[in-house]
Amino acid sequence: PPPFTGVWMGDSKLCAIGVHCGQHITSHGLALNCCTDLSWFDHIVPCGLEGKGVTSLSHELGQHVAVSHVLEPFLDSFQEVFDCTLVSSEDPG
């Protein structure tokens, strides 16, 4: 929910998106919870947001959702939305 970044299911974050800038270096990342053990989040305040939770695709759909099932459609959608071509370090050339 605004003003929080990421992808939310109600009051629980499904996907975290972050950007860090410091000492002339910029880094960014994305974490989509597919089949994450959510019990680890009981020990922290995720993203520093009191009263907000964390969820996963597996939890929301009530079935195991492996990263391998999500990766290709996610990357296809990413390329379409951002009008880019992704290149893997494993790709020859």
Which position among 15, 21, 47, 84 bears the catalytic label?
A: 47
- 47 is known as an active-site residue: yes
| 50-55, Cβ contacts within 8 angstroms, sequence gap of 24 or more | 51/11, 52/4, 52/11, 52/12, 52/13, 53/11, 53/12, 53/13, 54/12, 54/13, 55/9, 55/12, 55/13, 55/14
Catalytic residue positions?
47
